[in-house]
Amino acid sequence: MSKYILAMDYDEEDFDYDGGGEFIRKSTNYMQFDSEKDALAYLNKNIYYNDSTLPKPNYDTVDKYCKEFQFRFYERRS
């Protein structure tokens, strides 16, 4: 049975306790879905633009979200 992985990169604030101060590092959030349809439903419900003047995206494929937001989507076969 296949599982589907959505990888979303984001900037995360961190602190260098050795005196370097605050810095931004790149982190990745991985989410697992049972189907591509489930992943698309999640994206349609939860993804917004940072600019609140833009309408909420409502794409019909995961691929379109990946291209617009630089997400990665993988199929993991068992």
What ranges do the domains of the chain cover?
A: 3-76
- Condensed to tens digits (0 to 9), the pLDDT of residues 15-25 reads 676 766 677 78
- Condensed to tens digits (0 to 9), the pLDDT of residues 25-70 reads 889 999 999 999 999 999 999 999 989 899 999 999 999 999 999 9
- How far is residue 71's CA from residue 4's CA, in Å, rounded to a whole number? 13
